[in-house]
Each structure stands twice: as C-alpha cells, then as structure tokens.
Structure 1
Amino acid sequence: MDWLGAMNKAVEYIEDNINDKLDIEKVSKIALSSPFHFQRMYHIMTGVTIAEYIRRRRLTLAAQDIISGEKIIDVAFKYGYETPEAFTKAFGKLHGISPSAAKEPGAKLKAYPRLSFQISIKGDKKMDYTIIEKESFSVMGKKTKITMVDGQNFSLVPKFWDECMKDGTYQWACSNAGKLGIMGICLDFVKDTEEFYYMIGVENNCEELPKGYVSATIPKATWAVFEAVGPLPEAAQDVTRKIFAEWFPSTGYQHDCAPELEVYPEGDYNSPDYRCEIWIPIKK
C-alpha cells in the first residue's frame, strides 16, 4: 500500500543518510506526511522517537566500526558526536560498556535492528469509525509542552489533566464547553526537538481570553472518528495505537495536516463504560 511503502521509504532514506543531520521535513515528505504527524505516527507505531531510533542505529553501527579496528575518536566524529566524551557516555548508555571495552574479545554488545513497517493482521477486534467533514473552527484553553523521550508523553498528558482539574481549568472548560465538549488537542511539534504542544480546551466562544489561556485554529478537515470505551487514559491510548498500527496500514487513507482531537464528554473517566472519541484528520 502507498502509506506503508511511504513509511518504509522514509526509513530507507534515514538509513542511507544515517551519518548526516536529519532533515525531518524531507523525511516527512517521503512519508507523505507533515513533520508533526510523521514524528507522532512513528513514535506511536514503534514506541521510540525518530531521534532515538537514529541514536540507537548510529551506536549500533559505531560498535561494528570499533570492532573492525577504527579509532574511537574517528568513530565519534563520524556519527555526529562533538567530543569523544559525549560519544563514550552515549555508547555506554546503550551498550553497557565503554567504546574501548568493546574492542576486547568476548565483549557483549547490543544491536538495534533496522526497522521496517508491515501490516499486522490480528482480526481480534473490528474498528468502527465515522467520516466527518468539519469547517475550520477556533479553540481555547491551556496548553503545555510534552516530550516523547522514553515514552514520557503517555504519563505527562494524564498528569497535565490532573493539574488542570486541580487548578480550576477543567471546571472552566466544563462551563464554557460547546457542541464538541471538552477536548485534548495535539498541536504542533516544537521545531528540532522531541516535544509537542498539548492543549486542554473547548470551542472558542470568548471575545477576550482569561489570563493564562490561549487560542488556536483547527483547520477545515475530513476526520475519521473512533470511539474508545473504558477508563482513561488507557482506553484512549489503546485506540490511538490501533489507529496508527492497524487502521492506517489497512485502509487507503493518509494522515492529513491538522491537529488530532480527543473529545471527552462529562462523566466518570474511571468507569469501564466511559465513552470518548478520537478524531484523526485524514485524506485519500
């Protein structure tokens, strides 16, 4: 499929240019996506950020070069480290030993394999969805930076919700909610980082925003809407993973360049019967 082939071509480009500085815009174009959504898609499907994948692959190849007899200082510069000390620290974090120890006979090293994307046909649960066309609209709320390093986003987003429930933001959102209700919104990545902005908000109905609140525009888009049933955040996170790992590869759709929405009706978020929606912008 085009989507699957595009993701594999993006990985192939990365591997062919593994020693060079990553041009995320070029890679995302190969993957038929925007930089934001390529990085988010990659992370959800693999469990690591694109930057972490490159780090692990470089250090895997660096170990092979050291074993073959190349000087450690040359290998360090080859794979983009400014100093041998920085290289030694990164090498030890992945392999558990120093670069010089890697030269010793019988040294145990870790190999992080080249990644490829394939369709996984499980057939255990169907994925019902609805296609919705929606005009551009404005949202307002509070936002924060979320890092994806080491999967921290899966704990930081729920923590942000907890903070907003304690500081009155959630109550403010409930009193100002429109037709869509309360939303969690994945906005743009912070350029050249592994961070993105996440907003808790509602449709904008204020002429003047309260202090500490911001607004953003959600562009006109076509959305695939999926229902998640169960306690949060696990239910929403599980459905999101399935969308990227199973639904996209098995359909003719691609991710479009718009934020992703999590739509949360009022209710008991811990209930096994709680229902929310995941809105994913799509295009053919």
Structure 2
Amino acid sequence: MDWLDYMNASLNYIEENLSIKIDYERIAAKALCSSYNFQRMFSFIANVTLAVYIRRRCMTAAALELSKSKVSVLDTAIKYGYDSPVSFARAFTSIHGITPQEARVPGAKLKLYPRISFQISIKGAEVMKYRIEKMDGFCLAGISREISINNGENFKLIPKMWEELNSDGTCDRIVNLNGRKEEAMYGVCYDFHFEEERFRYMIAIKPEGQMPEGYEVLEVPEFTWVKFECIGAAGIQETFQRMNTEWFMTSGYEHEEGPEIEFYPCGDVDAPDYVCEVWVPIRPVKK
C-alpha cells in the first residue's frame, strides 16, 4: 500500500464508525501518522477540517435515517455521538437549516455532503525549492491574534491582519523594537487546536534585549526545519498548500508539533522577484 491507500483506509474507517466522538488517533493510525499530522494534512487536501467533515457526514446520514424511518430523534442523536437531542438538533439545524422533526415532513429540503476519496491528480511539474536545516531554539516577539480555520477563514483573516497592522503603524513599531529601521519579519502560526478550528498567528521579529510592555514573546524550541523558497509574498498560501499535498506525501518526513513560520527578509515585499520562505518543523516518518 502507498500513502493514497492509507489515506483512503482512514476515510473508510470514518464511514464504518460514523460518530462525532470517533477517535481521531484511530483514524490517523489507519494513515500511519499522528492525529496532529493527519488533521493538518486532511484540512489542506480536503479544504475542510476533519471535525467539520465528520460532522457533515454524520448529519447527512442522520437526515437520511430521519426522513426514511421512524427512528426517534433521541436514538439518532445517541447513534451519532451526541449527548442530548438538544445538542443534536442544534448541529442538525446548522447543517440543514431545519430541525430533525422538520426533516420528517415529506418534501423537506435536506443537504447531502458526500463522502470524499483521495485520488492522484497529475499537475504541472513545477519545481519546489527547499532545504533542510537544524536550528537552535530562538524567540520571537510581536502581536498575535486568534485565527479561525472554519471554512477557510484563515486565508482571509491573516492577510487582513497584515493589512490592518501595516496601515495603523503597528508593523513599523514591531520592526523598530530593535532600534533599526529595517528588520526581517516573521508570520507565525502556532497553538493549533484543530478540533476547535483555531490557532494563533503572530507578526513578529527576533528581539534583542528586553521587550517593552504590550508585546508577546514566543519561545521556539530547537527543531529540524524544512525551508521552502517562495517568490513573492502573495505565493505563501500556495506554498503551504503544495507542501502539504505534494512534499509531505513523498518526502519521508512528517510535521513535528511546533510552529509554522513565514520568513520575510528585508526588501520590497511587493516586488515580483522578492524571495521569502516558509519554515516547518519536521521529523522522519516512523516506519
């Protein structure tokens, strides 16, 4: 079996054990990786978080049962892992726009979220430039916000955060923390909570000396990093996408539990030939 077979085996396991309380560790084990790595990889490949996918599949199956049988709402709620009909009804309504009771009415409009499958897609052979480096621990200082990954909100919220902090002068103040007019900057994704669909994002520099009040400090441990070259700051998101859907699939490495870093060296970030980087902590896949 190759990675494609393993990933599809995990999807089969989900369908055979459909419940919002399904064990994520067992799902990941089918794909021969950790829960942390599986959830990260799944969200990039499927363009939806694992938690949302499972919830949608549960509500799709529940709607079919309620519309075709006389099974009680309570029994259906319990079957799909809900502790009460109230919490089940809330989740059901958020997906279908109607209550479980209304789903029984002939002609009720319901939504189908079909199961997904992973397949090989042949794309253009566009090169990815990267290097692997081991680095001592270091610290970063700046301003952070909580970012939602629900429905791809992170792809909108992070650029908006940069825009806001640039326009109000905050980025300039962060750059000047070391007393220089120019400074390499970092965008840092950390404190991931996949099941809650959130993480923190920090705009930061490497500080020298003691930081003034009002700035957060993030300690980054020693890691081995894979560092991808990215031409143009606008290409950062595509680099993350390709890293997860192409590089990790064949590299023999997996994501170490740690921050993901965007590195922006001094220069004109709007220039078409501006070179920045994506850094991700890695470790060899255990066989």
User: Is the TM-score greater than 0.5?
Assistant: yes
In the alignment, which residue of structure 2 is the partner of 1:215?
217
Q: Larger relative contact order (C-alpha < 8 A, sep ≥ 6)? A: 1
CA distance in 2, matches of 1:164, 1:20: 38
TM-score scaled by length of structure 2: 0.82
CA distance in 1, matches of 2:151, 2:219: 30
Q: Is 1:203 matched with 2:206?
A: yes
Q: Is 1:65 matched with 2:97?
A: no
Q: Residues 156, 129 of structure 1: CA spacing in aligned structure 2 closer, same or farther, 3 A cutoff?
A: same
The 8 Å contact of residues 232 and 275 in structure 2, kept in 1 or not, is answered as: yes
The 8 Å contact of residues 6 and 32 in structure 1, kept in 2 or not, is answered as: no
Number of residue pairs the alignment of both structures matches: 280
Q: How does 1:56-205 map to 2 (within 5 A)?
A: 56-69=56-69, 70-81=71-82, 84=85, 86-105=87-106, 107-176=108-177, 181-190=184-193, 193-205=196-208
Q: Residues 190, 257 of structure 1: CA spacing in aligned structure 2 closer, same or farther, 3 A cutoff?
A: closer
CA distance in 1, matches of 2:218, 2:12: 35
Kindly state the Cα deviation for residue 148 of structure 1 after the two structures are TM-superposed.
0.8
Q: Residues 45, 21 of structure 1: CA spacing in aligned structure 2 closer, same or farther, 3 A cutoff?
A: same
CA distance in 2, matches of 1:216, 1:12: 39
The 8 Å contact of residues 233 and 274 in structure 2, kept in 1 or not, is answered as: yes
The 8 Å contact of residues 139 and 203 in structure 1, kept in 2 or not, is answered as: yes
Q: Residues 58, 104 of structure 1: CA spacing in aligned structure 2 closer, same or farther, 3 A cutoff?
A: same
Superposed CA offset, 1:2-25 (max 9, x none)? 655554455455444432535556
The 8 Å contact of residues 96 and 111 in structure 2, kept in 1 or not, is answered as: yes
The 8 Å contact of residues 228 and 278 in structure 1, kept in 2 or not, is answered as: yes
Instruction: Supply the RMSD in Å over aligned alpha carbons.
Output: 3.1
Tell me the SS of whatever aligns to 1:282: strand
Kindly state the Cα deviation for residue 126 of structure 1 after the two structures are TM-superposed.
2.0
Kindly state the Cα deviation for residue 104 of structure 1 after the two structures are TM-superposed.
4.3
User: What is the identity, as a one-letter code, of the residue corresponding to 1:95?
Assistant: H
In the alignment, which residue of structure 1 is the partner of 2:226?
224
Kindly state the Cα deviation for residue 79 of structure 1 after the two structures are TM-superposed.
2.8
CA distance in 2, matches of 1:73, 1:79: 10
CA distance in 2, matches of 1:88, 1:197: 31
The 8 Å contact of residues 119 and 250 in structure 1, kept in 2 or not, is answered as: no
Tell me the SS of whatever aligns to 2:250: coil
The 8 Å contact of residues 18 and 54 in structure 2, kept in 1 or not, is answered as: yes
- Point out where structure 1 has 5 or more consecutive residues left out of the alignment: none
In the alignment, which residue of structure 1 is the partner of 2:276?
276
CA distance in 1, matches of 2:20, 2:239: 35
- Point out where structure 2 has 5 or more consecutive residues left out of the alignment: none
